[in-house]
Amino acid sequence: MSAAVQIYDTTLRDGTQGEGFFLSGLDKLRIAKRLDEFGIDYIEGGWPGSNPKDIEFFKAAAKEEWKHAKIAAFGSTRRANVAVEDDPQVKTLLEAETPVITIFGKSWELQVTEVLRTTAEENQAMIRDTVRHLKEAGREVVYDAEHFFDGYKDGRDHAMSTLKAAVEGGADWLVLCDTNGGCLPTEVAAITEDVVKTFPEIRVGIHTHNDCELAVANAIASVDAGSTQVQGTINGYGERTGNCNLTSVIPILELKMGRKAVNDLTKMRDLSFFVDDVSNNPHFARAAFVGRTAFAHKGGMHVNAVQKLARTYEHIVPGAVGNEQFILVSELSGQSNILIKAEELGLPLEKGSQEALNILSTVKEMEQTGYSFEAAGGSLELLIRRELGDCQRPWALSEYHCSFRQYRDGHAPVCEATVKLKAGEKEAYTVAEGHGVVNALDQALRKALLPHFPEISDVSLIDYKVRILDGEDATAAKTRVLIVHTDGESTWGTVGVSDSIIEASWLALNDGIDLFLQRRKS
C-alpha cells in the first residue's frame, strides 16, 4: 500500500454551515468520539468564542482522552493593522487548548483589496505573524489558503506569495482550498503539482467544495498530484451544496488508490448513518459506498449474475465499507451485521442459529416500519437480549395517560402524566407534571420505579430528537423518536416508532431505563 493520506474532518465546523444540519454541544462530542474510533487524524471542533456550543465542545474535548485524533480549533489570521498579540480572536484560539490550530488567510488578491481592504504586503504579514505566533505557543498549525485556486488563476505570483508567508511563519501544513467549488480536476491537479514542487519542504492538503459535483474528484486529483491531507465532512454536509464527502473519498483512497486513511473501513456505513441520525437528517439512500441502495439489485439478468458472482455488478465487496448486498426480489443476508454487533455487546451468537435468524428477521421488519438502530444501539441490545432469553422487563405497564391544559386567565400551561404499572408484586400509580408531555411522562415513570429501583436516580435524559418519517401524511405521519440517556459514565440511545409522537417517546423512554437495569443485572 502506498503512503498514507491524513484525513481532516470538519463536520463539526464546516458541516454545520449547511442548511438543516444542526448539532448541540453533546452531539458534537458524540460524533467526535466516533470519528476518533474510526481513525480520523484531525477533528476540527469549531471556532472558539463564536458561539456557546463551540465553547462547550472545546471544554469537554479538553477532558477527553483521544485514542487517535488530534482536535483542532479553527479561526482566521490576525486583523489588518492589529498586532497579533492584541487580536482577541487569536487569543481565543490559544485558549481552546487544542494541540492543533487551523487558520485561514486570503489567497485571492481580489479578496484582499475588496474584502479586507488592505494591501498584499499587509495580508502576507497577517498570515506570517499569526502562524509564527501560534507556532511559538507550541501548536501544530494548519494553514488553510482560502480561495487558493481562484486566486492562483487570477494571479499566480500573489497566491504563491501568501503560501510563502505561511511557510516563513512555520506552518506545518499548506491546505489549498477550492472555496467556491468551481474548479475542474485538471486545474486542481496542475495547480497542486506546482505548489508541491515550489514548497517541497512542507506537507500539502486539499479542501474542496461540491458546487460543481466535483469535490471528491478534485480531492482525488490533488492527492494524485502530491497532497497528503484531505479535508471534508461525513456525508458531504456543508455550506451551499456541501463539502468533499469523506464517506466517498476515504473508500476511494483505500480501495482504489491503495492509500491508507483510517483504522477500519468496515465501520464507514455505521458512521455515516450515525451522523445522519444525530443531526436528525434523512440518510441518502443512493449515496456511493454507504447508501442503502449502493449494492442493491432488482430483477432480470443483474440478479441472476450477481447471485452467481457478485463482482459482475459490484465494483467492491460491500462488506469492505460495512454495507451489504441487497437483492430486492429476495432480500438476502445481513446476518453478519447482527453477529458483529452481538459480539461487540458481549452477547455472541452462532452464525445460522435460530436466534440470529430471528433477530435479523425482527430487525428487518422493524426497519420496514420506520425503526433505525444506527444511533439507537441500546434498543438493538435489548432486542438481542430478549431473543437470547437474557432480558425481561422488570415492570409491566397497566396504563399511562397524558394531558395538556391551556388556561385563558394567564396561568402557565400544565402538562400532566399518570402511569400505572406493576413491579414485582407491587403496583404503583403515579402522577407528575413536566415541561411538556414527554418530560411529564419521564417524571411519572421514574416516580413509579424509584421505590423498586433506586439506582435509576443516576440516569438522566440528555437528548431527544423527533423525525417525521412520511411527511406527505401531514399530521397523520409516522414518527420516530431517538432518546439518549446517560448514567454519568456511558451513554446509550434508544428508539421508538409510532403514529403517535407520545407513544414513540414512551417506547424510547422505557427502553432507555430498561437497558440500564439489564446491564446492572448482568
Query: Cα separation of 402 and 502, whole Å?
Result: 8
- On the question of pLDDT at 329 being above 50, the answer is no
Query: Cα separation of 136 and 118, whole Å?
Result: 26
Same domain, residue pair 385 and 410: no
Region 270-284 average pLDDT: 92
CATH classification at residue 354: 3.30.160.340
pLDDT value at residue 330? 29
Residues 403-447 pLDDT 10s: 988 877 777 888 999 999 999 888 999 999 998 889 999 999 999
Same domain, residue pair 232 and 377: no
* pLDDT tier, 476 (very low <50, low <70, confident <90, very high otherwise): low
Strands 479-486 and 460-468: antiparallel
pLDDT value at residue 333? 39
* pLDDT tier, 332 (very low <50, low <70, confident <90, very high otherwise): very low
Same domain, residue pair 127 and 235: yes
Query: Cα separation of 213 and 243, whole Å?
Result: 10
Query: Cα separation of 106 and 110, whole Å?
Result: 9
pLDDT value at residue 474? 61
Among 263, 282, 299, identify where a domain stops.
263
Same domain, residue pair 441 and 460: no
- 304 occurs within a structural domain: no
- 373 occurs within a structural domain: yes
Same domain, residue pair 244 and 101: yes
Is the distance from CB of 42 to CB of 8 less than 8 angstroms?
A: yes
Domain count for the chain: 3
- Looking at residue 412, what DSSP letter applies? P
- Domain carrying residue 509: 334-393+453-522
61 beta partners: none
Torsion of CA 14, 18, 24, 27, to 10 degrees: -70
- 183 occurs within a structural domain: yes
- 268 occurs within a structural domain: no
Same domain, residue pair 141 and 182: yes
Same domain, residue pair 51 and 173: yes
Residues 162-184 pLDDT 10s: 999 999 999 999 999 999 999 99
Same domain, residue pair 409 and 501: no
- On the question of pLDDT at 103 being above 60, the answer is yes
Share of the chain above pLDDT 90, in %: 70
Same domain, residue pair 27 and 158: yes
Report which of 380, 465, 3, 474 is spatially closest to residue 229, judged by C-alpha positions. Answer: 3
- On the question of pLDDT at 134 being above 80, the answer is yes
Among 263, 291, 309, identify where a domain stops.
263
Same domain, residue pair 521 and 415: no
Same domain, residue pair 195 and 139: yes
Same domain, residue pair 421 and 349: no
CATH classification at residue 440: 3.30.160
Query: Cα separation of 144 and 127, whole Å?
Result: 10
Cβ neighbourhood burial of 469 (10 Å; 0-12, 13-18, 19+): middle
Region 366-374 average pLDDT: 83
Least confident of 144-158, 208-222, 289-303, 490-504: 289-303
Region 64-82 average pLDDT: 95
- 321 occurs within a structural domain: no
Torsion of CA 166, 229, 277, 283, to 10 degrees: 120
Query: Cα separation of 519 and 522, whole Å?
Result: 5
- 427 occurs within a structural domain: yes
- 18 occurs within a structural domain: yes
Helix axes 354-368, 377-387, angle to 10 degrees: 140
pLDDT value at residue 298? 63
Give this prediction's pTM.
0.72
- 327 occurs within a structural domain: no
Region 232-239 average pLDDT: 97
CATH classification at residue 257: 3.20.20.70
